[in-house]
Amino acid sequence: MKKSIECPFQKVFPSQLEKGDLFFMQLAYNEAVNAWTRDEVPVGAVIAMGEEVVASAFNETRTQSDPSAHAEMIAITMAAKSVGDWRLNDCRLYVTKEPCPMCAGATVMSRLGEVHFAVDDPKMGALGGATSLHELPFSNHKPKVFRQTMELECREMLQAFFKLQRKST
Ligand SMILES: [Zn+2]
C-alpha cells in the first residue's frame, strides 16, 4: 500500500462580501484540498447559480474506483438534481484544472452557461488546451470559457501532489 501524504496546503477563507469568480474558485480550491486529504488527485469543482452554490465536489476516482468520478462529473450530476433540471444554462462551473474530454463533453451536454478553470492542461484539456469541445462548429451549445482565476495556487497544489507522489513510490 502506498503511504498517504498529508496535504501541505491550507483551505482558504473567502470573503462573503463579494461573491465573484474568485469567491467560487476559492471554494473549488478548498474542494481540491479535500481531494488531497483523501489521497485523490487534488481537483475541486463548484457550480454556482447566481450567488448560490448548487454543487460542490472533488475528484473521487480512487475512492470510488471509478474513472468517471471526476470532480466536474460529480458536481454536474449534483447540480442537475439540486436545480431540478438537466439543463444548467444559468449555472457556472468553477474547476481548479481544465476539464478533460469527458468532463468538457458533460459541460456541453448539460448546457452549462459558463466554465471557469484555473490551470490549463495542454495534454488532456478539452476547453482550449489539447482540444476545444466548447467550439464544435455544429454544436448548438457553446459554454463560455474563462481561465486563470487562482491559476498559480491551483497549479502549485497539483505540481506538489505529483512531485510528492513520485517521491513516495
Ligand atoms: Zn474530467
Residue 101 Cα to ligand 1 midpoint, Å, equals 7
Please determine, for residue 1, whether its predicted confidence score (pLDDT) is greater than 70.
no
Residue 4 has what pLDDT? 75
Instruction: Give the residue, 37 or 1, on which the prediction is more confident.
Output: 37
* Mean model confidence pLDDT for the chain: 95
Residue 167 has what pLDDT? 86
Active site residues: 72
C-alpha distance across the termini of the chain, in Å? 10
Give the predicted TM-score (pTM) of the model: 0.96
CA distance 81 to 104: 19
Residue 103 Cα to ligand 1 midpoint, Å, equals 4
CA 118 to chain centre: 8
Residue 100 Cα to ligand 1 midpoint, Å, equals 4
pLDDT band of 168, cuts 50, 70, 90: confident
CB 127 within 8 A of CB 133: yes
- Which residues are in the CB-under-5-Å shell of ion ligand 1? 70, 100, 102-103
Please determine, for residue 14, whether its predicted confidence score (pLDDT) is greater than 70.
yes
CA 161 to chain centre: 16
Q: What is the mean pLDDT of residues 8-31?
A: 95
